[in-house]
Amino acid sequence: MSTHHILIPKVSTLVAVWAALIVLTGVTSAVSYLELGEWNIVVALLIALTKASLVAWVFMAVRHSTTLTRLFCVAGLAWLSILILLTYSDYHTRDWTYQAKPWSTNKAAGDSR
Amino acid sequence: MDASMLGMWTFLITEVLFFGGMFAAYAVYRNMYPAAFASTSKFMDVILGGTNTAVLICSSLTMVLAVRAAQLSKRRDLILFTILTMIFGTAFLVIKAFEYHSKWVEHLIPGFDFQYDEPRYQHNAQILFFLYFCMTGMHALHMIVGLGLLTYLLVQSVRRVFNADYFAPVEMIGLYWHFVDVVWIFLFPLLYLIGHRR
Amino acid sequence: MATIAHGTPEIAAEEVNYLNVEHGWKSWLLTTDHKRIAFLYLISITAMFFVGGAMAVLFRINLLQPEGIFSAETYNRLFSMHGIVMVFFFLVPSIPATLANFLIPIMVGAKDLAFPRVNLLSWYLYIFGAIFTLYAVIRGGVDTGWTFYAPYSSTYSNSYVLSAAMGVFIAGFSSILTGLNFIVTVHKMRAPGMTWGRLPLFVWANYGTGLIQVLGTPVLAITLLLLFFERVAHVGIFDPNIGGDPILFQHLFWFYSHPAVYIMILPGMGVISEIVACFSRKRVFGYNFVAFSSMGIAVLSFVVWGHHMFVTGEAMYTSVAFSFLSFMVAVPSAIKVFNWTATMYKGSVSFDTPMLYCFGFIGLFTIGGLTGLFLAALATDVATHGTYFIVAHFHYVMVGGMVMAFLGGLHFWWPKITGRLYPEAWAKFAALIIFIGFNLTFFPQFILGYLGMPRRYHAYPPEFQALNVLSTAGASILGIGYLIPMIYFVWSLKAGPKAGPNPWGATGLEWEIQSPPTTFNFDETPTVTKEAYDYGPVEEIVG
Amino acid sequence: MPASLTLLLADLQLFPPAASAQAGPIDALYWFEVIVSAIMTAGIFIAVIFLAWKYRRRANVRATQIEGSTFLELSWSILPFLVMLVMFWWGAKLFFAAQNPPKDAMEVFVTGKQWMWKVQYPDGTREINALHVPVGQPVKLTLASEDVIHSFSVPAFRVRHDVVPGHYDSLWFTATKPGRYRLYCTEYCGNQHASMGGWVDVMDDREYANWAGGGSHGSLAEQGQKLFEQNGCSTCHQLDQQGRCPILRGVYNKPVQLDDGRTVTADDSYLRESILDPNAKVVSGFQPNIMPNFKGQLSEEQVIQLIAYVKSLSPATPASQQGVQQRPVVIAPRAKAPQ
């Protein structure tokens, strides 16, 4: 049975991860009050990704698990990215084709999305 | 790792893509209507949302401690941490219910009673609120299912079913619970922290 | 292949097997035996196949006349329900839920699937979904096409969209559970010695299918749920009038529904690998390539969905990427076709019924696959999109491919499933009739398609009549072709001659146990010591 | 029966007429694909039949077990893929060309509505389920939908584009052969989907000049101007002095700075959105919520008229894109089809 291979986590590790998650929650809330433009979402997602990885790695015991489990985790993420990125690519590149050339090259036109 | 754990992981991948459909919709519409999406942040209570995030993280901690207790055959701890996890889970749902109630009061129920204070964003903000209710609603549904599973866990641990030789169900329910936590970890910044607040 | 103690003597008047071990409806409806559940599925999907087929016959009759025979409303509901029933309630569960459900545990040397009760739950979900959908049929049908495109389905259609969508939603979870069960079973339940490299290719194919079911179906589920809310409450998620984007629906829908065509065809490819090996008495040529091409298909199938949207206004660069990826996915399919053909080289080929279906599959799938290239290429897709060319293409793959493989597999394993043989002459006759009827039905549609006849038209310009009459004539032959096996299979259940454990002289764990198998398949867990398709020592190892 | 059979066969067609400049190149690719497919199909059929017969089961002859051949596997993976790459490149090249209408294309506006196609010409002529185009002149169709997704298809031209509600789509072609060709809706759009079709008439220049008599209600831009005044647009959008709303003169196809910092080009799609949902993208320096929503007030056809009027206020746009001008083809018909 599975008991033979189980590595029992230390309480101190678990509490440390919990503390890190709480701190990161505070950080992500605080950062959202800063004006970072496009970077707000990037930072928020990076923090969320870190938190999720912590939960998966320690709480869900991926760190002690088999390659197969890790493969499944990666597959889940990979397919989620396929879904979101390929869908998003359509919306993001639509303008590339159809945008008419502006008559005057004023400064604002340069960063048109 | 036994079959049931692999089954749980496979199920969680399915869940990732189930929520993934909504995340994809979110990505598309946020890209399409950035201003309207940002304008909704004044209706999102960061304090309540943040508190709920913390509550869920605490519940994850107690959950993983419950799994640990089962692995060590510590029945009392198992029961204690299971109850604590259920308390945190219930607290989350109660806070969520308060949030839903305030949305109701503020006429922010898409499709039924949606009156946005900025008419220019009436339609586009409705899409965000629809996604908000869909995502948090689905999440809450998963929480409720999780609470049901925890109740089963509690009954079984009172009956001394689990010990160091048999705790797979505790681990499986733990995985599920953590996954629900992970979903919320993404929902919190995406739904509550969109706009620049000052 | 394996060391199995055959305890039961052959002379026993009535062997105990999974069919006669218990009696009464309760023993069937509450069973957790994968073989009984497979049988329940077989009955259910056959029923759905004839429901969907009857609709096809009706609308083909309508198309005899350019102006149509039925009203537009009736026709639209017929083709929509035909699509929904056939895709979600026949093709998707067809091989996985019946043959694979029956065979995978036996092939890997297990007593049952990893989660027998989940398996039963999946059948109940299927039935529950089917009831919702059939409710929609009885109340008057759905007229959205099987694709449920918004905003027509969410706002404009006044048919029973909600009920049908709910039915598909529920049936989706049945499919997810089947896939999940297969994945875990293949990983965790293999008998000692059954390494990945010794798995029958049918198992590989269904493993790949399981991946697609698990990864793709939830997206369909959430899409239909969003559509459901859109239709009930008009929240704007897909409605362009209030800011939604109907193209998003198509993205989410095809993220599942393109891989779904591989849910339908991959298990069929697995069946063909088994049949071609058995009736050539030969190991499948290039086992590794065929196995990995299944996995390749499973992965690549998820990155090609945009080729359904080349003319919707999808971004040009995205379309180009999707076009390229669509050509990529053709490679593993081509590998399989070449390898099956090469398997016969220096073989000992016999022409039993399953092999006839196998020939039919290879030929028709080749045509179906190659016409897919026309649709992967951007310019010719624009010229053929939404016409009968598409209809012909996917029927060549789905009916010419999948249904041929399903029938081939059913004939191949029927002796194992029921312990009885079917009448060989009738079976060969039916296979021939189906092949002829199929080509007569669908080949004219390629021509109609490039001529520009749009699909889903209840009336059409008179110049298309000759080809449509031809197609309808073919459909009636095809319909008869499908009824013949139905009749002799039912007959053979009672009166067919006893088959014995291995009527074909095939290799594989399933042929080493009695027919029909006992409830737990094996008296003791087999130990596998030989490779798959061990029809003799390998004499030539090239490359 | 034989009589009806002859009738059936009299109409029998096997290949569609090729009546546009695009049709030839697309047919060439199509035939390339047909030939490749035919060769591959024939190869597989012959191989299957040959191998099955040659190695049919005989007494005392056993099969030779062969593991496989990496060389063969690789060659029959890579070689077909190379052929497919040719198809990919060829198809993409034609597709790119189909995305970029020539600058001097004549513009026609097509609105799909359950279950008809409404066609508007720059000179104000309107038709239903019929499209008249001159031979040899590139024509760009701007496609709009009032309700569900439709798809505009003319098989003889090998063109097709979905008409998705909520934004404009477009396609273009150059007709090369005078005649009548069918047009269809090829995206299922409800009950009478099958009757949502009509005819494209390709006419030579003289015929076309005769047909194009001009609209009785003035050009498209003039109709738009009328709407502009009737709906009170002119009270805020003044022509020469800044009112509460932006000046529309010269704005067409120019970049516009929005109040959220983004920049968009004031093309047809932006103008349409700004008429129907003016608060979606407000020009920087102007207040939102001043202009009323015209969604539901104006039909897609009227929106097209208004856009034609706005375009006519920007004289720098290429002649063919202006609504006020005469039908350009009458003035300068092309001698030869491009491409």
How many whole angstroms separate alpha carbon C354 and alpha carbon C358? Answer: 6
Query: Taking Cα atoms as reference points, which of C306, C38, C196 lies closest to residue C528?
Result: C196
Helix (H, G, I), strand (E, B) or coil at C528: strand
C284: its two tokens: 């499948």
How many whole angstroms separate alpha carbon D170 and alpha carbon D109? Answer: 9
How many whole angstroms separate alpha carbon B113 and alpha carbon B103? Answer: 10
Q: Which of C84, C341, C470, C507 to mutate to test the interface with D (most CBs of D within 10 A)?
A: C341
Domain ranges of chain B: 3-192
List, in order, residues 6 or more apart from A112 with CB less than 8 Å away. A95, A99, D255, D262, D263, D264, D265
Contacts of C188 in chain B (CB under 8 A): 2-3, 6
Which CATH class, in words, describes the domain spanning B3-192?
mainly alpha
**B13 close to C (CB below 8 A):** yes
Quote the distance between the C-alpha of residue A32 and its chain's center. 16
The average confidence (pLDDT) of chain D is 84
**A80 close to B (CB below 8 A):** yes
CATH architecture of C32-512: Up-down Bundle (1.20)
- Given this model, what pLDDT does residue D219 score? 83
C4: left (phi over 0), alpha (psi -120 to 50) or beta: beta
List, in order, residues 6 or more apart from D322 with CB less than 8 Å away. D122, D221, D311, D312, D315
- Give the whole-number percent of chain D exceeding pLDDT 90: 45
CB-based contact B186 A48, cutoff 8 Å: yes
Query: Taking Cα atoms as reference points, which of C411, C98, C99 lies closest to residue C275?
Result: C411
Helices (H) then strands (E): counts for chain D: 9, 13
Per-residue pLDDT tens over the stretch B27-72: 999 988 888 888 888 889 899 999 999 999 999 999 999 999 999 9
Q: What is the mean pLDDT of each run of 10 residues along chain C (543 residues)?
A: 45 75 91 95 95 94 93 94 95 95 96 95 96 92 92 90 95 96 96 94 96 96 95 90 91 95 95 96 94 95 95 91 95 94 94 96 96 95 95 95 96 95 96 96 95 94 93 95 95 92 93 92 91 84 56
List, in order, residues 6 or more apart from D261 with CB less than 8 Å away. none
Residue type, C442: F
CB-based contact A72 B168, cutoff 8 Å: no
How many whole angstroms separate alpha carbon B86 and alpha carbon D59? Answer: 73
Q: How many residues does chain A have?
A: 113
- Given this model, what pLDDT does residue C71 score? 92
- E strand or H helix at D198, and its extent? strand D198-203
How many whole angstroms separate alpha carbon C6 and alpha carbon C380? Answer: 59
Q: What's phi and psi for B196, nearest 5 deg? A: -85, 120
- Nearest C-alpha in A relative to D169: A98
- Nearest C-alpha in B relative to A6: B71
Contacts of B72 in chain A (CB under 8 A): 8
Q: Which of D254, D268, D317 to mutate to test the interface with A (most CBs of A within 10 A)?
A: D254
- Nearest C-alpha in B relative to C234: B111
pLDDT-derived band at D3, boundaries 50, 70, 90: low
Give how far A61 is from chain D: nearest CA, Å.
41
Contacts of B123 in chain D (CB under 8 A): 277
Which among A75, A83, A86 has the least Cβ separation from residue C306? A86
- Given this model, what pLDDT does residue C542 score? 57
Per-residue pLDDT tens over the stretch D310-333: 888 887 544 444 443 333 322 223
* Cis preceding linkage at C151, omega within 30: yes
- Given this model, what pLDDT does residue C417 score? 95
C-beta atoms surrounding D134 within 10 Å: 27
**A15 close to B (CB below 8 A):** yes
CATH of D220-328, one of 2.40.10.10, 1.10.760.10, 3.90.550.10, 3.40.50.300: 1.10.760.10
How many whole angstroms separate alpha carbon D5 and alpha carbon D9? Answer: 6
Query: Taking Cα atoms as reference points, which of C159, B57, B32 lies closest to residue A90?
Result: B32
pLDDT-derived band at D2, boundaries 50, 70, 90: low
How many whole angstroms separate alpha carbon B52 and alpha carbon C122? Answer: 35
C-beta atoms surrounding D58 within 10 Å: 9
For residues C515 and D39, the answer to whether their CB atoms sit within 8 Å is no
CB-based contact D254 A103, cutoff 8 Å: yes
- Nearest C-alpha in C relative to B113: C233
CB-based contact A90 C321, cutoff 8 Å: no
Weakly modelled stretches of chain A, pLDDT under 50: 1-4, 98-113
Q: Which of A93, A103, A111 to mutate to test the interface with D (most CBs of D within 10 A)?
A: A103
β-pairing verdict for D263-265 and D65-66:
unpaired
For residues D189 and D99, the answer to whether their CB atoms sit within 8 Å is no
CB-based contact A14 B21, cutoff 8 Å: no
DSSP 8-state class, residue C117: H
CB-based contact C306 A90, cutoff 8 Å: yes
Query: Taking Cα atoms as reference points, which of C276, C261, C263 lies closest to residue C205?
Result: C263
How many whole angstroms separate alpha carbon A37 and alpha carbon C129? Answer: 47
Contacts of A108 in chain D (CB under 8 A): 255, 257, 263
Give how far D9 is from chain A: nearest CA, Å.
45
CB-based contact D253 A104, cutoff 8 Å: no
In DSSP terms, which residues pair with D190 in a beta bridge? Answer: none
CB-based contact D289 B119, cutoff 8 Å: yes
How many whole angstroms separate alpha carbon C175 and alpha carbon C92? Answer: 8
CA angle C266, C443, C383 (to 5 degrees): 85
Which among A68, A86, A90 has the least Cβ separation from residue C187? A68
**B134 close to C (CB below 8 A):** yes
Per-residue pLDDT tens over the stretch D75-116: 999 999 999 999 999 999 999 888 888 888 999 999 999 999
List, in order, residues 6 or more apart from C372 with CB less than 8 Å away. C326, C330, C393, C397
How many whole angstroms separate alpha carbon B140 and alpha carbon B143? Answer: 5
Q: Which of D258, D264, D320 to mutate to test the interface with A (most CBs of A within 10 A)?
A: D264
- Given this model, what pLDDT does residue B1 score? 60
Contacts of A102 in chain D (CB under 8 A): 253-255, 265
Give how far D314 is from chain B: nearest CA, Å.
28
Which among D99, D254, D262 has the least Cβ separation from residue A102? D254
How many whole angstroms separate alpha carbon C441 and alpha carbon C469? Answer: 9
**A21 close to B (CB below 8 A):** yes
For residues B137 and B144, the answer to whether their CB atoms sit within 8 Å is no
Q: Which residue has the higher pLDDT, C39 or D4?
A: C39
Give the pTM: 0.92
How many whole angstroms separate alpha carbon C154 and alpha carbon C224? Answer: 10
Q: Which of A38, A96, A97, A98 to mutate to test the interface with D (most CBs of D within 10 A)?
A: A98
**A9 close to B (CB below 8 A):** yes
CB-based contact D280 B124, cutoff 8 Å: yes
Which among D55, D96, D151 has the least Cβ separation from residue C311? D151
Weakly modelled stretches of chain B, pLDDT under 50: 198
- The interface predicted TM-score (ipTM) is 0.90
β-pairing verdict for D106-113 and D116-120:
antiparallel
C-beta atoms surrounding C494 within 10 Å: 8
- Nearest C-alpha in B relative to C185: B3
Which among C144, C334, C378 has the least Cβ separation from residue D76? C334
Q: What's phi and psi for D181, nearest 5 deg? A: -130, 150
Which parts of D143-296 fold into alpha helices (H)?
A: 205-211, 220-230, 233-236, 268-276
- Given this model, what pLDDT does residue D320 score? 45
DSSP per position, C158-177: -SSHHHHHHHHHHHHHHHHH
CB-based contact B119 D277, cutoff 8 Å: no
- Nearest C-alpha in B relative to A10: B68
- Given this model, what pLDDT does residue A98 score? 43
How many whole angstroms separate alpha carbon C53 and alpha carbon C482? Answer: 9
For residues D182 and D197, the answer to whether their CB atoms sit within 8 Å is yes
List, in order, residues 6 or more apart from C150 with CB less than 8 Å away. C227, C230, C238, C239, C244, C246, C249
> Chains that contact A by 3+ CB pairs under 8 Å?
B, C, D
How many whole angstroms separate alpha carbon D256 and alpha carbon D261? Answer: 10
C-beta atoms surrounding C421 within 10 Å: 18
